[in-house]
Amino acid sequence: MSTVAAEAPLDVGKLWRAARLPILIVVVALALVALLAAVSASSDNPLDPRSTAPSGTHALAVLLDGRGVSVAVPDTSSGLIGAARSGETVVLADPGAVSLSLLHALASTTATVLLVGPENRELGAFGVPATLNNVTSGVTPGPGCALPAATVSGSIEFIGDLYATRSGATGCYRAAGDAALVVDRRATGGRTVVLGGGSLLSNADLGKSGNAALALGLLSGSSRLQWLPPGDLGGALASSDRRGLFRLLPSGLDWGLVQLAVAVIVLALWRARRLGRPVVEPLPVVVRAAETVEGNARLLHAANARATAAAALRTATRRRVAAAVRLDPDVDPAALVSVVAEHTGQPAPSVHALLYGADPRDDPALVGLAGELEALEAAVRQQPGVPTGTTSDPRPGGQQ
């Protein structure tokens, strides 16, 4: 009988060669994340009244302050709603990222709410009779409406969305029949201003054409203005209604990913398929039985497979003991225990615990079990009439 082999010494070099590629991948991924974070932190804050970058709107905030309109960035949704209910003007620079519950709350106030580049979801929340219909770039249309802010500013330089308006809404700066600026009066008495793009409000483009005049005309209706910039929405977002990353993916990409996943699964099944029944082939070299036993022992020890090792020891012992007392290898456990107990004089419960008992809890218990099984087999062979020679092992390639 053999015992569990000692653990092999740790090969640090082999471990490093196996782990260096995953470590390198993790390091590169972390470096990319850090780089992206640094770039994002240093990038412009578009349509932010605190930003002096080309895409910011600090210049407009200064002009509004000169007209007695203070500009503030709200911290929470409750503060924003409270300001709107008190009659302050509200600018939503990225209304698509705001929850529907907050949009409906703002729509129920009497405040003037400016929506920059809204989609049909936001238009529906405010009840604006208009639909997103087109996109334009670099046009300088005339007002085409009687809105005072538009007639004063004249033509503007506009890049952004265009809206098809219906009865009840005022559409200005039309291109191909669709309006870049839509103004609607809500049933609550508040006013909704839809601006298809925010570039004309930016520091870089505010001085072009009549952009500044239009912005001041639209936002000078109250002494205080609440400006909600993109990427700094604070508590204004409701987590249950956030628009996640998948909303930003192109349409149809989700089906493409599903097809790719199916293709990967089919490829895995094809590569893993069995071409037929396993074929027993002779080993290219002769392996000594002792080396096979030691190799199996090392594998079991490395995997902490004490239950498997104990089962192998007990199975081999039962087979040899049954052969020694001239019983069939598949003899009933009760019969085998009874005969072994009679031959050795040991109590039947003890014999049953050795041959069919519980798995060992740790390595010392496994070693102890191997010794007890060996002693039990020796006790059986010492009885008169029991062969003491070795018994052929029916497994391929070895003897015990």
> Taking 90 as the threshold, does the pLDDT of residue 68 lie above it?
yes
Look at phi and psi of residue 92 and say left if phi exceeds 0, alpha if psi is from -120 to 50, else beta.
Answer: beta
How large a percentage of the chain has pLDDT more than 90? 39
Q: How far apart (Å, rounded) are the C-alpha atoms in residues 16 and 23?
A: 10
Average pLDDT, integer, range 46-60: 91
Lowest model confidence (mean pLDDT) among 29-33, 60-64, 77-81, 193-197: 29-33
- For the entire predicted model, the pTM comes to 0.53
Q: Write the burial class of residue 270 (CB in 10 Å: 0-12 exposed, 13-18 middle, 19+ buried).
A: exposed
Lowest model confidence (mean pLDDT) among 175-189, 191-205, 250-264: 250-264
**Which token pair is 72?**
């503030």
Using DSSP, state whether 310 is helix, strand or coil. helix
- Return the bridge partners of 182, or none: 171, 194
| Highest mean pLDDT: which range of 10-19, 53-62, 138-147, 323-332 | 53-62
Position 345 scores a pLDDT of 86
More confident residue, 314 or 40: 314
Query: Of how many residues is the chain composed?
Result: 400
Lowest model confidence (mean pLDDT) among 149-153, 170-174, 251-255, 360-364: 251-255
* 8 A C-beta contact, residue 90 and residue 65: no
Q: Which of 327, 328, 333, 363 is nearest to 349 (CA)?
A: 333
Distant-in-sequence contacts of 51-59, Cβ < 8 A, 24+ apart: 51/203, 51/229, 52/203, 53/203, 54/202, 54/203, 54/204, 55/202, 55/203, 55/204, 56/202, 56/203, 57/198, 57/201, 57/202, 57/203, 57/206, 57/227, 57/229, 58/203, 59/203, 59/206
Q: How far apart (Å, rounded) are the C-alpha atoms in residues 1 and 313?
A: 8
CA distances (Å), origin 115, targets 61, 300, 340: 17, 68, 90
Position 386 scores a pLDDT of 59
CA distances (Å), origin 187, targets 8, 92, 145, 220, 286: 82, 20, 22, 22, 93
* Mean confidence (pLDDT) of the chain: 83
Task: Indicate the pairing of strand 224-228 with strand 89-92.
Answer: parallel
> Taking 60 as the threshold, does the pLDDT of residue 278 lie above it?
yes
Q: How far apart (Å, rounded) are the C-alpha atoms in residues 110 and 233?
A: 22
* 8 A C-beta contact, residue 322 and residue 328: yes
E strand or H helix at 92: strand 89-92
- Could you tell me which residues come within 8 angstroms of residue 189 by beta carbon, excluding any fewer than 6 positions away? 110
Position 232 scores a pLDDT of 55
* 8 A C-beta contact, residue 220 and residue 139: no
Name the one residue in this structure whose structure tokens are 């009549």: 210
Position 392 scores a pLDDT of 43
Position 1 scores a pLDDT of 42
Name the one residue in this structure whose structure tokens are 């590629």: 21
More confident residue, 276 or 337: 337
Using DSSP, state whether 206 is helix, strand or coil. coil
- pLDDT per position as a tens digit, 292-310: 888 888 888 888 888 999 9
| Cβ neighbour number for residue 76 with a 10 Å cutoff | 11
- pLDDT per position as a tens digit, 368-400: 999 999 998 888 888 766 565 544 444 433 444
Average pLDDT, integer, range 148-172: 91
Integer-rounded Cα Rg, in Å, for the chain is 41
Position 271 scores a pLDDT of 74
Q: How far apart (Å, rounded) are the C-alpha atoms in residues 169 and 154?
A: 20
